[in-house]
Structure 1
Amino acid sequence: MSTYRLDSIFRPRAVAVVGSQSRPRSVGRAVIENLLAAGFDGNIGLVNKHPTPMDGVTTVRQLRDLPWTPDLVVIATPAATVPQLAAEAAEKGAGAVVVLTAAMGSGPGSPAAQLETLTREKGLRVLGPNCLGVIAPHARLNASLASRFPKAGDLALISQSGAISGGLVEWSMSQPVGFSAVVSLGDALDVDFADLLDYFATDHRTRAILLYVEAIHDARKFMSAARAAARTKPVVVVKSGHSGRAQVTPAGSTHTQNLARPNTVYGAAFRRAGLLRVRSLHELFAAARTLGQVRPFQGRRLAILTNGGGVGALSVDHLYEQGGTLATLSDTTRDALDRILPVGWSRTNPVDLLTDIDADRYAATIEALLADPENDALLAVNVPTVLSSSSEAAHAVTRVLSQRPAHGARKPVFTVWLGNDPQAEAVLDAAQIPRYPNESDAVAGFMHLVRHREVQAALMETPPSLPEDFSPDLATARRLVDAALDAGQTWLDPLATTQLLAAYGIPMAPVWRAVDPDDAARIAAPLLAEGATVAVKILSPDIPHKSDVDGVRLNLPNANAVREAAAAILRRARERRPDARIEGVLVQPTLLRPKARELIAGIADDPVFGPVIAFGRGGTAVEVINDQAVALPPLDLRLAHELIARTRVSRVLKAYRDVPAADERAVALVLVKLAQLAADIPEIQQLDINPLLADRDGVVAVDARIAVARGRALHKGRGHPRFAIFPYPTEWERTILLGDGQPALVRPVRPEDDAMFRAFFTHITDEDLRLRFFQSVRHFSHEFIARLTQLDYARSIALVAVHPGTHEMLGAVRLHADANYETGEYGILVRSDLKGHGIGWKLMQIMIEYAQRLGLKTIEGQVLRENRTMLAMCESLGFRVKLDPDDPTLMHVSLPVPPNAR
């Protein structure tokens, strides 16, 4: 239900607590005392069979006896009583309950199951059970078991752990941070991470959202909400379990499956959603504080200024350890500093000022470094000495920064003032200059900003275009998988594997099946006659890794060698795995690509996030080398290149010595094709290409395995049953006829449509742009276009009409659903020179059909009062048109979605 009735939790006008108050340490009494201590100014009620009067509290025996209606009811009673009390709360008119009770069980008939059924039937929101409660400092609300009431601020903390919530509240009391809300999810029977991300994404009191995650249960809902929230404000996440304890994998798992560890997959999901992941609770708040103090900036090159060489060297160490880049000094800056600083200064970065630097030289050095185009940010580290004043140095920093222009790009400056100088610290704090207790934290703050900007940029980047000739043979692939499933197979045989990869344009070395050594020699004969050597490999559905039984022989030059190798392979396999089904051997030509890199690429299956695409260093030692990265599908080429870049083997793909660069685009295209295969055929559970050889001539798969199964759906409703991210909705591609009888292709917007949109806007008059965007638009930034083309198809869609011959864009309509999937806001724009051709009418009709399929109740929008053409079309389509109550220049249009279409 997303944000439905969540105001009852965070901004209640009246709160009732159900639970014991007689015992000094009872839960009910503790919550009442917290509500009173926080200064909650609404009605407070206590429900108890034997209530004791309390000042400021209405005490009754049953909820229905309250003389007023509570928005929020806090329940702290035995588990068996909770469902009935929640039902009474709903009957009384409450919008939400917070259930502090633990151990409510699971499964049919349990108190938890009864409570879950009640929430669906009554529309009652439930926070918990087994949670610490909720704190909303701006509302003076402390309906929790936390021992302290935190300061009001702009951070929303959402935690699955009550202990973590309480601990962070306690920690915050001595820190310069405050909260818009603190929420403990507990068992998250109803209200979950996604609901709260949707809520705080639009909460004006919340600047940043902090998450403590133990496990995600609804991956698609989480990803949709997280991606939406991260576009509006920083979302920082820390997840327990990042030490990477080994997961239990079946013996027949592929290398790819074994590499896709849960923590790695969670990291890929957070990255894809645009969240900044940190490693500790301390870092969680440090990142939030830095993101609130420093504007976003481009680049990752850090200049370091210090009056102590040792601390400067340590700063460099921390920078390299965290993946940062040490800036160089330009010749101009070095010459300027030669004139400013005494002989003996470092003449490199870090800039060591020596110990006796005065404030004027300190200021001049900062000015020179800020003017240097070779760096992107500055870290100033001051060490107290008897020869210089820390406070004067602080004043020098603030004086230089105060003289910068108020507008335009401004390099961030981070500071570390070692020692205990309250005056210097007060000077920096008053100027709102980021200050850290040590150089390690300062470098971490710089890298938080770098990584946050990079994940945000990843949400906005435009991918390169896919080859126009990439058209997978889905029918063949579907037939091969269905045949294997109908035969009861869990693994495709090697011939079917080769055919399936070929259907998706992934080249693989040809392979033949041989039943015995003589058959292997016969099959190899034509290859040997052409001067090639061959490889022989064991063929068994029960031996996933051939090298485990020494089941591979390469570079066999003649028939006798082939016959002997096949016999030895079969003998060893039967000796080492007498339980395995041995079906013969495989014969392949040996691929002679001496400068090719061995890679691994494939599909793994995660129990939470579904299919993931894995890539890394291949070969027999792939799991020992442990050089891999994973990404959630669907993928485009930009995301595929980003996946490659997160591995060490990506460096080897570049040219070095006498080895030409490998065709990285061909590697990336394989990853995109695998993602498309995972989208098209959900029954593919695992796919392993190892090795995938890559050189300057392209790629070829040497060996591959594919596991299939009729897997359980992870997600209900439309779309791929196992994808955490809603894939491109191809079902909405169609051809329409315009008013002049000409055809046009209507399809959903793709991320690579950036250039098409830019060309489209050149055909729109300034007046039409004003009517659409309610203001004059002269410059279409990359970020602006990216917001039009980078969509979360789970809750948004944009449909474009395209000329089938020229591929020019004729018009576009978009619909964005609210978090509760009740109302969708639309927008439409048609080329100014093509009005009157029926493009807008057709697009609006398809958009309405999409809203029906999505299950929305209402479509609405705002139209300038003077835009008579749009208003007339809305009226013709059945929209209700009325004056916007908040702006007399606007009209509000709304269309009830026909109920029989949902």
Structure 2
Amino acid sequence: MTLALIKRLLEPATTTVIAGAAETDELARQIQAGSYRGKLVVLSGPNELASMPPSDLVIAFSAAAERALVAAKERGCAGLLVPDGDAADRDRLSAAARAAGVRLVGPSSLGIAAPRLGLNATAVPTHLSAGTLALAAQSNSVAAGILAWAGRREIGLSGAVVVGEGADVDIADCLDHFAADPLTRTILLAIDEVTDAARFLSSARAAARIKPVLVLKPPPLEAATSALTHAGLIVTSDAAHDAAFHRAGLLRVNDLDELFAAAETLGRARAAGAGRLAIVSNGEGLAALAAGRLRQVAGSQLPRREPEIVRSPQDYRAAVAHLLEEETVDVVLALNAPVAPADPLECARAIVDARGAAPSKPVLAAWIGAGDSAAAIFAAAGVPSFATEQDAVVGFLHLTRHARLIKELMATPPSIDDDDPPDVAAAESIIARALGEGRSWLEPDEVTRLLALFRIPTLDLVIAPDAEAAVAAAKVQFAAGRTVALKIVSPEVPHKSDVGGVELDLANEGAVRAAAEQMAERLRRQRPQARLTGFMVQPMAHRAKARELIAGFATDACFGPVIVFGRGGTAAELIADTHVALPPLDLASAEGLVSRTRVSRILAAYRDVPAADRRAIATVLVALGKMASELPQIRELDLNPILADASGAVAVDARIALEPDPARRRRPAIRPYPSAWTRRLELGEHRFFVRPIKPEDELLIGAMLNRVTPEDLRLRFFAPLKSFSHTFLARLTQLDYAREMAFIATEDGSGDAAGAVRLHADPGHVEAEYAILLRSDLKGMGLGRALMILMIDWARAEGIRCVHSQVLAENGPMLALCQSLGFAIALDPDDVSVKRVTLRLDAPGRSDGSKTDGHD
């Protein structure tokens, strides 16, 4: 079930409708009344299936769907649309579609539209113009509203599909299709739920790196929480969805109005800069309103600039042209109020002229009271226009938000020392012992040991079984000149402060003894069922200028573990200064998480307070991401508070809740770094370390490319290459390990990159295309062969059935290597200068004819 079937289904040259139900009859009439340029066949009912021609799209009601699928399989049809039915039909139709090898949209689907073909096979009776916006939706009613809006505003669509109950074709499939469609510039998503988080995120991330993706998802009705920690209370379903959308690079909108506004903006414009806005207006009051709205919604995050006040079309043209040439301007907002004597339409044409001379920067327009005439002028020129100055400001913010999302998505993280990886086996042993004893919480000393395995700094602690033992432990700290903190240990009381179970800055033995006795008494009164298993004694962390933070993670039912960061303390969830992110994290994504909180502002230096060590904070978050990825037995983890100052970050209190039920454990929705695929190679006198590529390798790959001859670069990339931009290198190093793999070989000693091989699978994970490049001075020693073998082994382990590539016919060494590995070689029918090499991995036995020399 490849992407090619989806393309045929959503862009059908032949459509067959099986009539006999109200829903299919209506779609047949809708198609007939339109301007469908394909072939339409209408059968009177399922009894005529024997005469159904081969079709790209078959439309059938649910009661006839299974018979239609059988007929569709026999005739090589691509897909079936089922407009009626409900959730009760989902599993039945899903199984039937899989058995037939036919893609299925529905049941309960509003339909599909392919305006380029004049096809409107939806239940919305409106004319849909061809254009560059694509819609993929789950909700019929929301989709109907969007289609009606598009028809009324004459907004052009490249395609629309409503998956309904999603028995087969889902939102991820639609994302893959529209991402690959060259005529789609912006994708709109309207979703109620994510059913397969890993697939959705892979498809969404791939699409968002190519074109803007807007997502409308109503917040769910949050069920009563069973959270045990602060992190668990913070990680709601809606927060987890926010984190997922952000990580994939999707711009989330809150309602249909905002969706339409964002579509108007991003469907016509892009912003690549930092969000520096220049306002041009024919009235100071109108400009002040826009500037005030901008300050209201963006605060001090955006730089300010005085508006340009103009009077005539000539003034507009000159001002906009000048601003578009300025390096300090990223976006121009042109405003107009109907003030005599200047003609608003002539002013609009002046804006279009100026923008046409410098189209690299976006121009937004708001012509107040000018009606459809001005809007038509701007639409024809591809300039986003708005009814009010406030709407235009919101449109500008959509541009800047999207630009920041993509910048973060493509950011190169600083390298981090990972030569000493955490001892995951030791951590699993700690957890296994606790679960074996029937416990759902780790004891404080176990928490400290586990955090130490992942290099997360904590305070020393001693667990004392009673008050006198607590006094003895405190005496050690008193002798060193330190005061102590005393806390109760009770499996039934995760939040110790709830029962007065924390006393700080105790300075002598009497104070410790009295505090212990009072804590025990309070616990007996307030929680008579709770067991007091001891007291925790810690040295006080006297860091007067430290900031209190919280970090941790909790498990979401859909997306798995979700990382939490924000302002800490006992009221962390009430203060509501937290943000969440999906693991795994690198230093760049961890810093991004920190920067989205308000507390990040006071991490900088102010007055006599030195700046906190942000890298130390980010390193803790990266470590938490590793824990969340490696230890699904952890249900929730709290570090609260973390004290952060110029000297670093240390967790003062920590708790870990376990998930005893294996069926409820969740792995991260994003596949973590595949560290198991590291290898050592010995090729004669040369030794190499081979591992999967990481985003941090951008500089390493860039340096390697500079040591490849121009001719070798031409053979690899089919064209001369003289420079390597950040965007180019990021696409080589920032991988979705669920869809692609790249191995880099580095030389022992120098650590320099020697070569790399990459493999990119299609969305169905059936076929994958490879590419390989070696440093020119290291060719001929067998490194290329070893990398190819490792790449083939990975493809086979992933269940990929076919590996292929295109090789220039003049590249004899590459063709010889492919032949020796068992690839079939054939001329490319579209280009005689290229040969296509193919290795089938689903044939019996090894098909690469290789040995594993140098590959362990």
Q: TM-score, normalised by structure 2?
A: 0.94
Does residue 225 of structure 2 align to residue 249 of structure 1?
yes
AA in 1 matched with 2:681: I
Does residue 387 of structure 2 align to residue 445 of structure 1?
no
Alpha-carbon distance, 1:429 to partner = 4.5
Q: Counterpart in 1 of 2:496?
A: 546
The Cα offsets for residues 421-477 of structure 1, whole Å up to 9 and x where unpaired, read as 666555544544332211122112222221212111222211001025553232321
Alpha-carbon distance, 1:585 to partner = 2.0
Q: How does 1:141-290 map to 2 (within 5 A)?
A: 141-241=119-219, 245-250=221-226, 253-290=228-265
CA contact (8 A) 2:135 2:161 kept: yes
The Cα offsets for residues 615-665 of structure 1, whole Å up to 9 and x where unpaired, read as 000001111101001111111000000000000000011111111111110
CA distance in 2, matches of 1:234, 1:892: 33
Q: Counterpart in 1 of 2:652?
A: 702
Out of 38, 57, 67, the position equivalent to 1:72 is: 57
Q: 1:545 to 1:138 in 2, by over 3 A?
A: same
Q: 1:308 to 1:773 in 2, by over 3 A?
A: same
Alpha-carbon distance, 1:370 to partner = 3.6
CA distance in 2, matches of 1:232, 1:865: 30
Higher deviation after alignment, 770-779 or 29-38:
29-38
Alpha-carbon distance, 1:366 to partner = 3.4
Higher deviation after alignment, 277-286 or 121-130:
277-286
Does residue 64 of structure 2 align to residue 95 of structure 1?
no
Alpha-carbon distance, 1:93 to partner = 4.4
CA contact (8 A) 1:157 1:209 kept: yes
Q: 1:328 to 1:745 in 2, by over 3 A?
A: closer
Q: Counterpart in 2 of 1:833?
A: 777
CA contact (8 A) 2:555 2:636 kept: yes
Q: Counterpart in 2 of 1:37?
A: 33
Q: 1:587 to 1:61 in 2, by over 3 A?
A: closer
CA distance in 2, matches of 1:28, 1:227: 35
Out of 552, 564, 568, the position equivalent to 1:614 is: 564
CA distance in 2, matches of 1:361, 1:136: 43
CA distance in 1, matches of 2:443, 2:650: 19
- Matched residue SS, 1:521: helix
Higher deviation after alignment, 647-656 or 319-328:
319-328
Higher deviation after alignment, 230-239 or 690-699:
230-239
AA in 1 matched with 2:603: L
Alpha-carbon distance, 1:287 to partner = 2.0
Q: Counterpart in 2 of 1:735?
A: 680
Does residue 675 of structure 2 align to residue 725 of structure 1?
no
CA contact (8 A) 1:247 1:261 kept: no
Alpha-carbon distance, 1:61 to partner = 5.1
AA in 2 matched with 1:11: E
The Cα offsets for residues 317-347 of structure 1, whole Å up to 9 and x where unpaired, read as 3223442768768xxxxxxxxxxxxxxxxxx
AA in 1 matched with 2:668: F
CA distance in 2, matches of 1:364, 1:85: 63
- Matched residue SS, 1:649: helix
Alpha-carbon distance, 1:101 to partner = 2.6
Q: Which runs of 5+ in 1 are unaligned?
A: 46-56, 106-110, 330-347, 716-720
CA contact (8 A) 1:300 1:325 kept: no
Aligned pairs, how many? Answer: 846
AA in 1 matched with 2:54: T
Q: 1:423 to 1:86 in 2, by over 3 A?
A: closer
Q: 1:370 to 1:10 in 2, by over 3 A?
A: closer
Alpha-carbon distance, 1:892 to partner = 1.1
CA contact (8 A) 1:713 1:722 kept: no
CA contact (8 A) 1:260 1:630 kept: yes
CA contact (8 A) 1:149 1:169 kept: no
CA distance in 1, matches of 2:388, 2:535: 63
AA in 2 matched with 1:643: L
CA distance in 2, matches of 1:889, 1:536: 77
- Matched residue SS, 1:747: strand
CA distance in 1, matches of 2:306, 2:452: 53
AA in 2 matched with 1:233: K
AA in 2 matched with 1:436: F
Q: How does 1:461-472 map to 2 (within 5 A)?
A: 461-468=411-418, 470-472=420-422
Higher deviation after alignment, 627-636 or 82-91:
82-91
CA distance in 2, matches of 1:44, 1:367: 51
Q: Which runs of 5+ in 2 are unaligned?
A: 847-856
CA contact (8 A) 1:135 1:143 kept: yes
Alpha-carbon distance, 1:290 to partner = 2.0
CA distance in 2, matches of 1:624, 1:469: 39
Does residue 308 of structure 2 align to residue 351 of structure 1?
yes
CA contact (8 A) 1:316 1:326 kept: no
Alpha-carbon distance, 1:192 to partner = 0.6
Q: 1:588 to 1:248 in 2, by over 3 A?
A: same
Alpha-carbon distance, 1:234 to partner = 1.7
Query: Runs ≥4 in structure 1, deviation > 6 angstroms?
Result: 324-329
Out of 596, 599, 623, the position equivalent to 2:546 is: 596
Out of 613, 630, 634, the position equivalent to 1:663 is: 613
AA in 2 matched with 1:38: G
Q: Counterpart in 1 of 2:850?
A: none
The Cα offsets for residues 763-799 of structure 1, whole Å up to 9 and x where unpaired, read as 1011111111111100100100000000111010011
Percent same amino acid among aligned pairs? 43
- Matched residue SS, 2:247: helix
CA contact (8 A) 1:2 1:198 kept: no
AA in 2 matched with 1:68: P
Q: 1:451 to 1:543 in 2, by over 3 A?
A: same
CA distance in 2, matches of 1:854, 1:535: 52
Does residue 348 of structure 2 align to residue 394 of structure 1?
yes
CA contact (8 A) 1:303 1:328 kept: no
